[in-house]
């Protein structure tokens, strides 16, 4: 059990650092949006790859670890609040709808592509 916690912690540290770096490279609020969309894309591939796999250690490193640290709904929520309080409604609408639609599309697409590639 402790091994699983250490794998999640290590993956989370790397994911969080990468999210921080992207957030500083891409202008507000699109850094968080990009991270959530990329995270959704990678999540679909990871889930597809680990279907029927017995060894879950690498899964712990990637899903709750790396992707848990990399993507963040809390940062998304704070960004929405900032845009709302700034009354930047055009960007707010694009940010909300774009993040949701593109994240769902990416998780589905990467899931399908990974399953196809592995078959």
What confidence tens digit (pLDDT) does each residue in 52-97 have? 776 778 889 999 999 999 997 877 887 898 999 999 999 999 999 9
pLDDT band per the 50, 70, 90 thresholds, residue 35: very high
For 13, the domain range is 2-118
Residues 37-55 have pLDDT tens digits of 999 999 999 889 888 776 7
| Residue 33: burial class (beta carbons within 10 Å; 0-12, 13-18, 19+) | buried
28 neighbors 79 (Cβ within 8 angstroms): yes
Closest CA to 35 of 73, 92, 81: 73
Q: What is the DSSP letter of 66?
A: I
pTM above 0.85, yes or no: no
Give the count of domains, the chain: 1
pLDDT at 27: 92
């Amino acid at each position: 059990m402790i091994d699983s916690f250490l794998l999640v912690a290590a993956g989370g540290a790397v994911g969080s650092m990468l999210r921080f770096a992207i957030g500083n490279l891409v202008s507000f609020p699109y850094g968080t949006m990009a991270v959530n969309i990329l995270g959704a894309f990678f999540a679909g591939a990871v889930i597809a790859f680990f279907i029927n796999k017995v060894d879950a250690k690498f899964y712990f490193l990637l899903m709750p670890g790396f992707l848990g640290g990399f993507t963040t709904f809390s940062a998304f929520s704070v960004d929405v609040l900032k845009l709302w309080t700034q009354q930047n409604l055009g960007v707010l609408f694009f940010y909300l709808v774009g993040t949701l639609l593109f994240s769902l599309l990416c998780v589905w697409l990467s899931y399908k592509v990974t399953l196809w590639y592995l078959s």
